[in-house]
């Protein structure tokens, strides 16, 4: 059955009257061969009548008349053939062999109600053409299945700041500006436009009013100073692919930023230590030694050098300094320096409350697995319709840690609805890739590995699958502002045997709302090569700014 909006008013089913051409941004109207032939006959008859009139009233050279007749005859034979050949060799062919003439989008919308079903054109080679058309259609469908294009929705522009407010903010010291921002956030105005048409979707935030006001104040006030000290590759050399790519992408975009970065440290509100925990491991760790002290000592010596060379660390004992580390060892590398461990803001992928992570001060960093650094948005989006998702829950991965073996023990090859694997075998992946598994599943299982975080959480959001998180003591990414209950499910490790029962108990209405929220929160987890407001770079920076404000005490008047 066809949807109601594709039926003719008389009740008869219509063939598609509009075909979108994504490469040209136009729509095309289907015109049959019979209609084209009638148009050509009408034009030919009009020309013939005009020729007779001129012949009757004026003298016409017979040689010219003969030449004109020959040209018209040849044109009458060649023109339809040429059009049909162009029709077959171009991308304007549909399975029923009809022709398409381009129309712009506005005209197509205006004429949509006037379009009628096109009649098929049957040629002598119709069976061959039908097979070729079906083959081409299948190839295009398969190409659409494997190459999903993310529709980029641009955020609204920044609000302009009145000049008197600009002058006032510039007159404040860095500490006074932070006090001003904290007071403003505590009295944030209520955001009224929080519907589907708003760029910021209220259900995915803990408090949309506070977030919006805090973000605006960050754009108005925040200035970050980046220390230029430190040699590559440990400093200033980001790694942009792999499962630790978050720290690299943040470093790359932060160092290239002109909106928040200042070259005058006296005006800075935050100070960035631009080191890479992954590069530190590659440079100093002795393989299989299980000794992290050389890495911790190196970072300790670097911070001591910063403290002795500049006055800014000692001014706040490091509480306005921050680092970004996505390696599992990120929390341990800071332990040799007490102030770095206790005072500095640490944005960590390994956000484990039992491993040197302080909620409310430190920031949980999303772990993003970037396969191709030049295409960080590849394959994002494109989850298929809920009614066509054959898989209830999916997981595939290596057996890291204690949780994943339990997951396989209870669900591997036990239930057709629960596609739980170890590493995805070639036999399975040749029929359905890892990405297509996620896009075809209602829920994507995201169990912890050796550490609490997993790139599958962000992958599930990328591929429009509701994440099911199994990790104890895990502070969820960007939880200062995001309401994870709105777009994910958390399951305790002890409840793994009841996993299917738990998922089936979720009402369809609740699941559909979570899936909608996954799609709406997706834009906040994207590494855009050219950063946009509210994307992942800005969300991480905002959480660092927000947690810095949490440390500020407003004096009692």
**For residue range 165-180, what is the model confidence (pLDDT) as tens digits?**
999 999 999 999 999 9
Distances (CA, A) of 487 to 100, 194, 259, 467, 514: 43, 17, 31, 8, 4
CB 436 within 8 A of CB 388: no
Among 11-25, 33-47, 51-65, 351-365, the range with the most confident prediction by mean pLDDT is: 351-365
Measured between alpha carbons, how far is 261 from 136 in angstroms, rounded to an integer?
52
pLDDT recorded at residue 358: 96
pLDDT recorded at residue 383: 84
pLDDT recorded at residue 129: 41
Q: pLDDT: is 58 or 326 the higher one?
A: 326
Structure tokens at 114: 């006037």
Instruction: Quickly list DSSP for 511-548.
Output: HHHHHHHHHHHGGGG---SS--TTSHHHHHHHHHHHHH
When pLDDT is cut at 50, 70 and 90, the band that residue 248 belongs to is very high
When pLDDT is cut at 50, 70 and 90, the band that residue 198 belongs to is confident
- Mean pLDDT confidence for 412-427: 95
* Strand 26-31 to 99-103 pairing: antiparallel
Kindly report which listed range (105-109, 139-143, 319-323, 406-410) carries the lowest average pLDDT score.
105-109
**For residue range 201-213, what is the model confidence (pLDDT) as tens digits?**
999 999 999 999 9
When pLDDT is cut at 50, 70 and 90, the band that residue 117 belongs to is very low
When pLDDT is cut at 50, 70 and 90, the band that residue 64 belongs to is low
Q: What is the dihedral of CA 188, 193, 199, 201, to 10 degrees?
A: 80
For the cut 80, the answer to whether the pLDDT of residue 232 exceeds it is yes
Q: Please count the residues of the chain.
A: 557
What percentage of residues in the chain have a pLDDT greater than 90? 68
**Would you give the DSSP letter of residue 264?**
-
CB 453 within 8 A of CB 467: no
CB 217 within 8 A of CB 181: yes
CB 365 within 8 A of CB 246: yes
pLDDT recorded at residue 150: 60
When pLDDT is cut at 50, 70 and 90, the band that residue 223 belongs to is very high
CB 440 within 8 A of CB 384: yes
For the cut 90, the answer to whether the pLDDT of residue 433 exceeds it is yes
When pLDDT is cut at 50, 70 and 90, the band that residue 20 belongs to is very low
**For residue range 85-98, what is the model confidence (pLDDT) as tens digits?**
444 443 333 333 33
Instruction: Quickly list DSSP for 418-464.
Output: EEE-SSPPHHHHTTS-HHHHHHTEEEEEEE--SSS--HHHHHHHHTT
**Rounded mean pLDDT of the chain?**
82
pLDDT recorded at residue 192: 75
The CB density around residue 342, as the number of other CB atoms within 10 Å, is 14
Measured between alpha carbons, how far is 32 from 30 in angstroms, rounded to an integer?
7
Structure tokens at 69: 């007749």
What percentage of residues in the chain have a pLDDT greater than 70? 72
Phi, psi of 385 (to 5 degrees): -60, 150
Measured between alpha carbons, how far is 473 from 82 in angstroms, rounded to an integer?
70
For the cut 90, the answer to whether the pLDDT of residue 50 exceeds it is no
For the cut 50, the answer to whether the pLDDT of residue 76 exceeds it is yes
For the cut 90, the answer to whether the pLDDT of residue 463 exceeds it is yes
Q: How far is CA 308 from the centre of its chain?
A: 42
When pLDDT is cut at 50, 70 and 90, the band that residue 445 belongs to is very high
Structure tokens at 526: 């994207």
Q: pLDDT: is 156 or 50 the higher one?
A: 156
**For residue range 514-557, what is the model confidence (pLDDT) as tens digits?**
999 999 999 999 999 999 999 999 999 999 999 999 999 988 76
Asked if omega into 342 is within 30° of 0 (cis), the reply is no
- Mean pLDDT confidence for 258-283: 97
Where do the H-state alpha helices sit in 240-383? 245-255, 277-284, 293-309, 312-316, 330-333, 338-342
């Amino acid at each position: 059955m066809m949807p109601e909006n594709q039926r003719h008013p008389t009740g008869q089913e219509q063939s598609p009257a509009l075909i979108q051409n994504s490469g040209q941004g136009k729509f095309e109207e289907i015109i049959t061969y019979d209609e084209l032939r009638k148009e050509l006959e009408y034009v030919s008859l009009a020309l013939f009548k005009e020729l007779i009139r001129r012949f009757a009233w004026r003298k016409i050279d017979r040689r010219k008349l003969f030449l004109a007749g020959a040209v018209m005859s040849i044109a009458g034979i060649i023109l339809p053939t040429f059009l049909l050949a162009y029709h077959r060799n171009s991308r304007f062919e549909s399975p029923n062999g009809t022709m398409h003439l381009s129309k712009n989008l506005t005209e197509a919308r205006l004429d949509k109600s006037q379009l009628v079903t096109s009649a098929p054109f049957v040629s002598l080679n119709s069976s061959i053409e039908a097979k070729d058309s079906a083959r081409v259609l299948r190839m295009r469908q398969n190409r659409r299945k494997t190459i999903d294009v993310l529709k980029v929705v641009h955020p609204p522009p920044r609000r302009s700041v009145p000049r008197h407010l600009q002058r006032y903010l510039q007159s404040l010291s860095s500490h006074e500006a932070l006090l001003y921002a904290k007071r403003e956030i505590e009295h944030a105005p209520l955001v009224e436009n929080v519907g589907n048409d708003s760029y910021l979707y209220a259900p995915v935030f803990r408090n949309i009013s506070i977030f919006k006001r805090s973000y605006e104040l960050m754009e108005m006030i925040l200035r970050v100073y980046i220390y230029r000290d430190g040699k590559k590759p440990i400093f200033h050399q980001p790694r942009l692919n792999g499962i630790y790519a978050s720290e690299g992408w943040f470093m790359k975009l932060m160092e290239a930023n002109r909106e928040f970065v200042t070259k005058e440290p006296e005006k800075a509100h935050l100070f960035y230590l631009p080191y890479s925990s992954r590069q530190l491991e590659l440079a100093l760790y002795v393989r299989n030694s299980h000794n992290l002290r050389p890495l911790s000592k190196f970072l300790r010596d670097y911070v001591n050098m910063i403290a002795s060379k500049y006055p800014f660390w000692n001014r706040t004992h490091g509480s306005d300094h921050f680092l970004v580390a996505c390696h599992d060892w990120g929390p341990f590398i800071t332990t040799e320096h007490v102030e770095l461990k206790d005072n500095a803001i640490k944005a960590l992928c390994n956000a484990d409350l039992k491993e040197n992570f302080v909620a409310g001060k430190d920031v949980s960093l999303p772990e993003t697995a970037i396969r191709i650094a030049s295409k960080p948005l590849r394959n994002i989006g494109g989850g298929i319709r809920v009614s066509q998702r054959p898989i209830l829950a999916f997981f595939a991965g290596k057996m890291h840690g204690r949780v994943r073996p339990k997951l396989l023990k209870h669900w591997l090859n036990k239930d057709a609805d629960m596609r739980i694997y170890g590493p995805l075998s070639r036999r399975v992946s040749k029929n359905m890739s890892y990405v297509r598994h996620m896009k075809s599943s209602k829920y994507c299982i995201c169990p912890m590995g050796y550490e609490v975080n997993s790139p599958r959480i962000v992958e599930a959001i990328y591929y429009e699958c509701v994440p099911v998180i199994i990790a104890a003591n895990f502070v969820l990414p960007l939880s200062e502002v995001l309401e994870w209950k709105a777009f994910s499910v958390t399951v305790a490790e002890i409840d793994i045997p009841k996993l299917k029962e738990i998922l089936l108990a979720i009402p369809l209405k609740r699941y559909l709302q979570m899936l909608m929220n996954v799609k709406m929160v997706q834009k906040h987890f994207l590494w855009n090569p050219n950063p946009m407001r509210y994307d992942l770079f800005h969300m991480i920076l905002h959480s660092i700014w927000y947690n810095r404000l949490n440390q500020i005490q407003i004096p009692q008047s």
